[in-house]
Amino acid sequence: MENNPPRSKTNGALLAALIIMTGLAGVSSYLYFDQKKVSENQEVTISERVEELSTTRVKLDSISTALDAKIAEVQKLGGDVSELEKVKAQLEVDKASLRKGNRISIAKYETKIKQYEAFLVEKDTLIANLQRENVTLATNVKVLDEENTGLKTEKQRLADSVTTVVSQNQELSTKVTRAAALKAQNVKVFSVNAKGKVKEDDAYKAKRLDKIKLVYTLLDNPLTKEEPKEVFVRVLDPSGAVVSDMANGSGTFTVDGNETIYTTKQTVNYTSNGQNVELLYTRGIPYKPGKYTIELYSEGFRIGAGEFAVR
């Protein structure tokens, strides 16, 4: 007769094994779900972190753009941008650190962002003040320009007045000088032959006209200063050319600002008593037939004239 183990003992072993397997399955299931929960939590944390970094980067970029605008505006208004540029440089450092992403404290960046935003608000006040100052300055410049224009106009008016007065004074001076000029009358020309004989005629023979004797009277003029006066004589031939010989005393003088040739000259001691003056002129070559004109000048003015004829 076979010896079989009791049936109740076998069933107990199976039951124990089943219980153990069920427990292991439960533990495995718990571990699986716990690991899944941990992974899900990590994904949420990473996603939130990425979003925070992205938001922070956008804020910093926005602040950077605003700083650039502030720097440009302050420069335009003529203000000092050194502080703005210093803050801009620090901002670029913070942006570079954010891009690296190593052990970044978002809370620390949030504090920085608030500081940057407060700085921008402060600079808005600075810009507003600069704008008001520029408006005031522009107004003052406009007023000064208007005043300067008025001064220029007044200066020009005064200059025109001075020019007019100077011109009038010059005109008056010229009139006074002209009024004080010598005046010669009774200008006559006589012929003098080789023997020294003086002759007056309507026309002189060229072959007998070795010299001419000029006689004239200087009128009394109380405006004319009594002193030696230089009198220039111009003899004009029938064609209007000046009879001259530089080796025989001819030269140039100035009349009305123009240089003019004279035939001869003499110095007369003016005495303001209606004195008669004589001048002897010798020409080295014969006179051409025709009508000759005598012109007398002194102190830049024509003081008298006469004529004679040669046949």
CATH code of the domain containing 237: 2.60.40.1930
Neighbours of 126 (CB within 10 A): 17
Express each pLDDT in 271-299 by its tens digit.
988 899 999 999 888 899 999 999 999 99
Across 18-22, 153-157, 182-186, 209-213, least confident range = 18-22
- Which of 180, 214, 237 delimits the end of a domain? 180
- Mean pLDDT of the region 161-175: 65
Q: What is the C-alpha to C-alpha distance for residues 109 and 92, in angstroms, rounded to an integer?
A: 13
List, in order, residues 6 or more apart from 79 with CB less than 8 Å away: 126, 127, 130
Structural domain span for residue 75: 15-180
Residue 43 clears pLDDT 70, i.e. is over it: no
The pTM assigned to this predicted structure is 0.48
Segment holding 199, helix H or strand E: strand 198-199
Q: Are residues 215 and 75 in the same domain?
A: no
Q: In the numeric block, which tokens belong to residue 200?
A: 């007056």
Q: Are residues 147 and 265 in the same domain?
A: no
Q: Are residues 190 and 166 in the same domain?
A: no
Q: Per the structure, how many domains does the chain have?
A: 2
Q: How far is CA 120 from CA 55, 62, 72, 117, 193, in A?
A: 19, 11, 13, 5, 114
- Which of 180, 198, 231 delimits the end of a domain? 180
Q: Are residues 193 and 292 in the same domain?
A: yes
Q: Quote the pLDDT of residue 294.
A: 97
Residue 118 lies in a domain: yes
Q: Quote the pLDDT of residue 282.
A: 92
- Mean pLDDT of the region 205-224: 90
Q: In the numeric block, which tokens belong to residue 100?
A: 């690296």
Q: Are residues 215 and 249 in the same domain?
A: yes
Q: Are residues 142 and 227 in the same domain?
A: no
Give the DSSP letter of residue 271: -
Residue 31 clears pLDDT 70, i.e. is over it: no
List, in order, residues 6 or more apart from 5 with CB less than 8 Å away: none
Residue 207 lies in a domain: yes
- Which of 143, 165, 180 delimits the end of a domain? 180
b/e burial code for range 30-63 (CB count within 10 A of at least 16 → b): eeeeeeeeeeeeeeeeeeeeeeebeebeebbeeb
